[in-house]
């Protein structure tokens, strides 16, 4: 999607601090980190949120989770939280599917 911030970041049109990339996805550090380690994993394809995952792109969604697991291991994270906000009330501010990966501090439950 031409006017989407995360499509532009995945395409390298807007600079970011890369954690990982492959042909299907891109991972980069959050510009406003909420934990000592905070990165985002996004598909290169524009999908608005988890609500846009269906039978046709379920394999891609699984790949994003596999990448999270692999990158977290590579970064030496042994405890971390994966969050995806869906819709404004849940706190989604960028309408392109992304998984937050947060680590390095105590987390509270339930989330606010
Ligand atoms: P959401 O609020 O949609 O769950 O998460 C969007 C995240 O994207 C936020 O944590 C925000 O800090 C991050 N973000 C917004 N704009 C940029 C940007 O230009 N670069 C990077 N690296 N992160 C961004
Ligand atoms: Zn997009």
Q: What tens digit of pLDDT does each residue of 39-73 get?
A: 999 999 999 999 999 999 999 999 999 999 999 99
For the chain, the distance separating the N- and C-terminal CA atoms, rounded to the nearest angstrom, is 31
| Rounded distance from Cα 6 to ligand 1 centre (Å) | 9
What pTM was estimated for this model as a whole? 0.98
| Rounded distance from Cα 30 to ligand 1 centre (Å) | 6
Evaluate: CB of 80 within 6 angstroms of ligand 1: no
Residues with Cβ within 8 Å of 89's Cβ and at least 6 positions away in sequence, in order, are none
H/E run at residue 83: strand 80-83
| 96 is annotated as an active-site residue | no
Per this entry, what is the length of the chain?
A: 112
Contact 45, 60 (CB under 8 A): yes
Tokens matching residue 46: 């524009």
Phi, psi at residue 6, to the nearest 5°?
Answer: -75, -30
Evaluate: CB of 28 within 6 angstroms of ligand 1: yes
């Amino acid at each position: 999607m031409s006017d989407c911030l995360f499509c532009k970041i995945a395409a390298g049109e807007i600079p970011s601090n890369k954690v990982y990339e492959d042909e299907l996805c891109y991972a980069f550090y959050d510009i406003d980190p909420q934990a000592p380690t905070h990165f985002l994993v996004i598909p290169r394809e524009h999908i608005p949120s988890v609500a846009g995952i269906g039978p046709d792109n379920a394999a891609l969604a699984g790949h994003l989770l596999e990448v999270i697991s692999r990158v977290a291991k590579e970064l030496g994270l042994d405890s971390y939280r994966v969050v995806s906000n869906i819709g404004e009330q849940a706190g989604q501010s960028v309408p392109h599917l992304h998984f937050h990966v947060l680590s390095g501090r105590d987390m509270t439950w339930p989330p606010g």
